[in-house]
Every structure is written in structure tokens, then in C-alpha cells.
Amino acid sequence: MRQISSRVSKGLIPGSVVICADNTGAKALRIISKKGVGGTHRKLKNVGVGDIIIASVRSGSPEYMKKKVRAVIIRQRSPIRRKDGLRVRFEDNAAILVNDANLAVGTEVKGVMAREVLERYVKLAGVASRVV
């Protein structure tokens, strides 16, 4: 996994609900865990922009309902500090569904995507409508 050039504050915890910002049919996702980290007893693993999560679909089309999916966080309400001192903050928490090869399942993204996501996962640039 590539390093991100920004200081991303981890603003989401397991149990948080994020919207699904792609056109797959899922609408709301509840975070179950962060992918790729070991557990620590009685400690929640926080996630932020650019992290892969395991989530359950809370609302959307019947083919995704109550299923576990992999997703990447593309926006978060908590501010992100970039190297040049700029702080970026979005209006909502959002994620897009990805497969095991970290490629997007949907064909387009609704809204903007943080630049930190594209630094880590270059292939997601094809579905991004705008990058901030």
C-alpha cells in the first residue's frame, strides 16, 4: 500500500454509517472493520480517507442488501491536513465499492473524490468525476 502525502485524521470508527457514492445500487454502508490491520483487545480501529473497509449494506438494491462488501473511503467530514498547510473538509462521509483487486465496482462516482485516494489507488481515477 502506498503512503499518502497528507496527514489524514481518522474520523470514522466501526459502526459509522457512510453513503455509497457510486452507481452500484448500494446507498448506505455501515463500517464493520478496517482491512489489513490486526486487532487490539478492546480498541476500535479508526479509518479515514484512502482506507479500505469491510462494510455491510444498510439500504439500497436487493442484490446488495445485508451483504458484506469492500469499500474505499473517498470523503470524510473530519479535516485533512495537506503538506502545504491547506486543510480540506467535505460535507459528508462517503465510500465507493471495490473488488478484491481494488478496482471500482461502479462506473461513475457521484460528487468529488479526495486527491489522497488517487495517490494510493491510481486505477480509481477512471471513475472519478472530480478530484479535490
105 belongs to a structural domain: yes
Return the C-alpha torsion angle 22, 26, 28, 32, nearest 10: -100
Q: Cα angle vertex 5, ends 79, 76, to 5°?
A: 25
96 belongs to a structural domain: yes
Domain count of the fold of the chain: 1
Is beta strand 80-81 parallel, antiparallel or unpaired with respect to 68-75? unpaired
Residue 74: pLDDT over 80: yes
Which carries the bigger pLDDT value, residue 38 or residue 55? 55
Q: Identify the CATH number of the domain in which residue 106 sits.
A: 2.40.150.20
Which carries the bigger pLDDT value, residue 82 or residue 1? 82
2 belongs to a structural domain: no
Q: pLDDT at position 6, please?
A: 80
43 belongs to a structural domain: yes
Domain that includes residue 88, residue range: 7-131
